Amino acid sequence: MTKTPSFALLAAFLVNIVVPTSFAASYSDVQGTPYENAVSALAAAGVIGGYSDGTMRPYNALNRAEALKIILRAQGSLAAQADSYARQMPPIPLFPDVNQAAWYAPYVEVAYRSGIVKGYPDGYFRPDSPVSTEEATAMLLRTFGENGSGVAYASTQSFENRPDQWYTPFVNVAIAKNLAMKNAVLIPGRSMTRGQLFDMTYRLREVKTKQLVAWNGTEPVGSAVPTVPSQNPGTGPKRALGVPAASLPQYASTLPFAITIPSLGIKDLPIIHPTDSTTSKGVLEILYSGVGHLFAYPGEGDKIMIYGHSSGYPWDVSQYTKIFRTINQMNIGDRAYVTYNNQVFVYEVTFKNTVKVDDAEPFQPDGNGEELILYTCWPPDTVDERYLVHMVPVNVAK
């Protein structure tokens, strides 16, 4: 892998938002999920609308532009300002990667002038990059006048926080105001889903409108990950079930997150989630120490990407510079063993394919449950395409 693919495109699923004509009952994929009440309230208020096929896709990732639109439309005065800008935009963009004719440009204009967004240190806004949990949280709280000051540090099972980070104060406030549902899995560095943002936005609007100290409604029931029955029941279980590492010592790793692929002679290969998954540098720099990780984690029931180099520059002497050069030699039925959270998760190859560089379709939730995808540039020594090895969970009891 000599150049990074456009990872922003992997989770940047642009939507055509339509004016809502009804509420959650009209969205076939929202009923029975923990996001049903939030969607009903926000749709009724004209904050969000669904897709043209009648779905809301609460488990899909969203990009920074989409998140910004949802957040600003939840705050009446800022939504009005965006509508005003849409009628006559300034000719010069605030960021070099923002098209003043794009649907999202008025929201960027308002958000920047209101101090809600500042852009990245390199001067770009990156509207198509997947919005991370911490970015969305900060934008939401700033929109409603919260600067994160004066709140004690907190971290919970639902919303993981980390001390002394730029986003720490905002997560403190989100936890203090009970903006995360009890069965949420909100972790800095991960992409936020549409449903997660809907729920946090709904809760904060309730807090502000009713002048509450914290959201005090009834906690929703339902799964925070898709529970759609598998459309291909013969391909494996919907969600990987790990077994204690001690029960599979030949495949378990002493590393906290690692993969073993016996058919390729790969043992204890470190898996690293990038601290910054929004830049080429952030996505690539970890590949000197192992392979990278994006999207879901083992056992969460969704798509997992593990990416690595198939080739490298002459000056790159890392032992991992060509680690995925031979993944095309894996056969149907070959297994990979992922150590995570002191458990081993087992996956089995179902098929392999090549895709275009910017093809994000393989990583969209499809209702078929968990899938591990090994990903690299292809053919080796080129960046023309991407090679994918698709694997499904195999539940073992040993």
What are the chain's domains?
7-209 (no CATH), 234-393 (2.40.260.10)
Most confident of 79-88, 230-239, 315-324: 79-88
pLDDT in tens, 213-272: 999 999 987 666 554 333 333 334 478 888 888 889 999 999 989 999 999 999 999 999
Q: Structure tokens of 217?
A: 């409604």
Whose structure tokens read 């990979």? 336
Alpha carbons 8 and 133: distance in angstroms, whole number: 15
Q: Structure tokens of 380?
A: 């080796």
Alpha carbons 33 and 58: distance in angstroms, whole number: 9
Task: Tell me the average pLDDT across 12-23.
Answer: 32
Residue 34 contacts residue 224 (beta carbons within 8 Å)? yes
pLDDT in tens, 99-129: 999 999 999 999 999 999 999 888 999 998 8
Task: Tell me the average pLDDT across 345-373.
Answer: 87
Bridge partners, residue 259, by sequence: 269, 338
Bridge partners, residue 191, by sequence: 132
Cα-atom radius of gyration of the chain, to the nearest Å? Answer: 22
CA atoms within 13 A on the CB side of 207: 23
pTM of the model: 0.57
Q: Structure tokens of 329?
A: 């030699």
- Among residues 306, 302, 313, 324, the alpha carbon closest in space to that of 371 is found at 302
Q: Structure tokens of 9?
A: 């495109």
**pLDDT at residue number 236:** 40
Residue 151 contacts residue 137 (beta carbons within 8 Å)? no
CA atoms within 13 A on the CB side of 76: 4
H/E segment holding residue 106: helix 105-113
pLDDT in tens, 35-57: 999 999 999 999 998 877 778 88
Alpha carbons 267 and 257: distance in angstroms, whole number: 12
